[in-house]
């Protein structure tokens, strides 16, 4: 395995320097290594390939998940290569974020804080499947990213002239994004900003007006004050706040939670009683609709180790 990995390192670095048809040929070579080839014929490999069919670069996505590539990412060479790949995207994100600071007013919801979204979701969903979500790699890296993003925002607003402090927060954010993107490549297998609702947590969050419109479409009588009251009572998670204005966005389980609250209330249950049965009822509701795109993504995240 070690000799094979050493050879794989050489070939994968060549792959990163090629373009067009030569790059495709090199990809074939990488996937044909014995360990990767055997994995592709396994149930896990077939499942990854099936999931990757939605992507533009199917074979590239499969290569990322292959055993040799996962081993490569744990080496110093792999870490250096991944850092360079992710840092390009991070710097573009930071440049866009920084250039928007002088806009007045800032666009609501422009700050796509993926760390804050995933942290909130893991805190809500992990207890349904694991005892301690704080031991979860995604929660740890998402928490670090959310904290770093908040620090970046705070410093950029209050201390724009203090360039040294801003750069420190910028580096912290970049490092946290790097950690979080590493966990995306395994475990939950999410792809933020992809536009695919089953994989993109950014698309799972909505403002109160959207939640109320969806409730109305379901024939439910729900007001904004009622929604806020359920949040206060702990029946619905608090919304996250994004952007310079702190726009409130509610998580993807808000609507099914509302449905369960209204159903149980009609059956004569008190809010305290509903709160006790909510975790198991919510879990049953999610698992009864596994093919719905947003539910598929939630279950993938909730079950991530």
Q: How does pLDDT run across 94-150, given as a tens digit for each residue?
A: 555 555 544 433 444 455 677 777 778 877 776 676 566 677 777 788 888 888 887
Q: Is the domain covering 202-302 a CATH 3.30.450.20 domain?
A: no
For residue 83 the two structure tokens come to 């850092």
Vertex 125 angle, CA 173 and 250, to 5°: 70
Look at the pTM and tell me if it is higher than 0.75.
no
Residues 77-88: what's their mean pLDDT? 70
Distance set, CA 177 to CA 63, 85, 144, 262 (Å): 22, 12, 9, 39
43-47, 107-111, 173-177, 184-188, range with the lowest pLDDT: 107-111
Specify whether the CB–CB gap between 5 and 71 falls below 8 A.
Answer: yes
For residue 226 the two structure tokens come to 């009622």
Is residue 276 over pLDDT 90?
yes
Is residue 260 over pLDDT 90?
yes
For residue 223 the two structure tokens come to 């007001």
Q: For 105-239, list the strands marked E by DSSP.
A: none
**pLDDT mean across residues, the chain:** 80
- The domains of the chain are located at 2-73, 82-195, 202-302
For residue 173 the two structure tokens come to 């954010």
Q: What's CA 73's distance to the chain center, in Å?
A: 20
- Neighbouring residues of 86: CB distance < 8 A, sequence distance ≥ 6: 177, 178, 181
Specify whether the CB–CB gap between 257 and 282 falls below 8 A.
Answer: yes
């Amino acid at each position: 395995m070690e000799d094979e990995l050493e050879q794989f390192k050489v070939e994968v670095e060549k792959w990163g320097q090629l373009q067009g048809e030569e790059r495709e040929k090199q990809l074939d070579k990488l996937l044909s290594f014995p360990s990767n080839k055997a994995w592709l014929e396994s149930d896990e490999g077939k499942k990854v390939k099936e999931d990757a069919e939605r992507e533009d670069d199917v074979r590239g996505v499969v290569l990322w998940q292959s055993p040799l590539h996962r081993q490569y990412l744990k080496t110093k060479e792999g870490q250096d290569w991944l850092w360079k790949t992710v840092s390009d995207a991070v710097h573009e994100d930071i440049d866009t974020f920084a250039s928007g600071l002088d806009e007045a007013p800032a666009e609501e919801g422009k700050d796509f804080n993926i760390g804050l979204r995933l942290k909130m979701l893991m805190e809500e969903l992990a207890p349904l499947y694991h005892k301690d979500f704080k031991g979860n790699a995604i929660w740890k890296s998402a928490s670090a990213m959310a904290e770093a993003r908040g620090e970046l925002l705070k410093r950029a607003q209050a201390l724009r002239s203090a360039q040294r402090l801003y750069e420190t927060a910028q580096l912290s954010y970049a490092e946290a994004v790097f950690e979080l993107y590493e966990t995306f490549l395994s475990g939950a297998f999410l792809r933020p900003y992809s536009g695919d609702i089953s994989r993109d947590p950014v698309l799972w969050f909505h403002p109160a007006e959207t939640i109320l419109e969806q409730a109305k479409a379901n024939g439910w009588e729900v007001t904004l004050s009622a929604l806020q009251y359920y949040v206060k009572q702990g029946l619905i998670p608090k919304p996250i706040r994004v952007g310079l204005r702190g726009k409130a966005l509610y998580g993807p389980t808000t609507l099914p939670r509302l449905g369960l609250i209204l159903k149980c209330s009609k059956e004569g249950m008190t809010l305290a009683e509903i709160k006790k049965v909510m975790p198991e009822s919510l879990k049953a509701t999610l698992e009864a609709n596994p093919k719905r795109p947003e539910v598929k993504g939630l279950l993938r995240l909730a079950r991530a180790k």
